[in-house]
Structure 1
Amino acid sequence: MSDRLINIEDGLIKPLLSLLLKDKATGENIIWATDTYPIFMTEKDILLHSEMIRPRVEKSLDEQKTRTKRKAEVFTPTWVCNRMNDNIDKSSETKTWKEYVDSKVLEITCGEAPFLVQRYDTVTGKPIPLKDRAGLLDRKLKAVGKNTGVYDEWLKWAIRAFESSYGYEYQGDNLLIARINLLLTFVDYYKDRWEEEPGKRLLRHITNKIVWNIWQMDGLKNTVPLRKDRCRIRDWRRDKTVMFMG
Structure 2
Amino acid sequence: MRNDIQLLELLLKDQSLSLPNENTYISWATDDYCVTDEMGDNSPFAFNAQITPELISSHPDLIQPRIKKQPSMQTSRSKSRAEVFTPAWICNAQNNLVDEQWFGRKDVFNTEYINEEGEHRWLTSKPPIVFPAKRSWMSYVRARRMEITCGEGPYLISRYDATTGRLIPISERIGMLDRKFRIINENTPSEPTKANKRQWIRKAYQALQSIYGFDSQGDNVFLTRESLFLSFCEYYTERWHRHPHRDAVLKAAEIISWNIWQMDGLNFNVPNSDHYAVIMEWHNTEPLSGKKMTYKDIV
Into which bin does the TM-score normalised by the smaller protein fall?
Answer: over 0.9
Which residue among 163, 174, 179 is the counterpart of 1:134? Answer: 174
CA distance in 2, matches of 1:47, 1:184: 17
Which residue among 233, 248, 258 is the counterpart of 1:212? Answer: 258
CA distance in 2, matches of 1:148, 1:215: 30
CA distance in 2, matches of 1:205, 1:224: 24
CA distance in 2, matches of 1:107, 1:54: 20
CA distance in 2, matches of 1:235, 1:136: 18
CA distance in 2, matches of 1:66, 1:14: 31
Deviation at 1:226, TM superposition (A): 2.0
Q: How does 1:46-85 map to 2 (within 5 A)?
A: 46-85=56-95
Q: Does 1:18 align with 2:64?
A: no
Q: Indicate the residue corresponding to 2:293 in structure 1.
A: 242
Amino acid at match of 1:118: S
Q: TM-score, normalized by length of structure 2?
A: 0.76
Deviation at 1:14, TM superposition (A): 5.0
CA distance in 1, matches of 2:283, 2:85: 31
Amino acid at match of 1:35: D
CA distance in 2, matches of 1:15, 1:192: 24
Q: Indicate the residue corresponding to 1:101 in structure 2.
A: 141
CA distance in 2, matches of 1:86, 1:58: 28
Task: Tell me if the contact between 2:5 and 2:53 (Cα under 8 Å) persists in the aligned partners.
Answer: no
Which residue among 32, 40, 62 is the counterpart of 2:28? Answer: 32
SS at match of 2:160: coil
Deviating beyond 6 angstroms after TM superposition, the runs of 4 or more aligned structure 1 residues are none
Q: How does 1:104-123 map to 2 (within 5 A)?
A: 104-123=144-163
The one-character-per-residue Cα deviations of 1:204-237 (angstroms, maximum 9, x if unpaired) are 0010000000000001111101211111111112
The one-character-per-residue Cα deviations of 1:120-166 (angstroms, maximum 9, x if unpaired) are 11111111000000100100111001001122221111110000110
What percentage of residue pairs aligned between the two structures are identical? Answer: 39
Deviation at 1:91, TM superposition (A): 1.8
Q: Which has the larger radius of gyration?
A: 2
Task: Tell me if the contact between 2:216 and 2:262 (Cα under 8 Å) persists in the aligned partners.
Answer: yes
Between stretches 127-136 and 37-46, larger displacement belongs to 37-46
Q: Indicate the residue corresponding to 1:187 in structure 2.
A: 233
Which residue among 178, 183, 203 is the counterpart of 2:224? Answer: 178
Task: Tell me if the contact between 2:5 and 2:54 (Cα under 8 Å) persists in the aligned partners.
Answer: no
Deviation at 1:111, TM superposition (A): 0.9
CA distance in 2, matches of 1:51, 1:196: 26
Amino acid at match of 2:292: T
Q: TM-score, normalized by length of structure 1?
A: 0.92
Q: Indicate the residue corresponding to 1:8 in structure 2.
A: 2
CA distance in 1, matches of 2:54, 2:234: 27
Deviation at 1:47, TM superposition (A): 2.4
CA distance in 1, matches of 2:64, 2:5: 15
Q: Indicate the residue corresponding to 1:4 in structure 2.
A: none
Amino acid at match of 1:29: Y
More strand, by proportion: 2
SS at match of 1:52: coil
Higher relative contact order by CA 8 Å / sep ≥ 6: 1 or 2? 1
Structure 1 unmatched runs, 5+? 1-6
Amino acid at match of 1:92: W
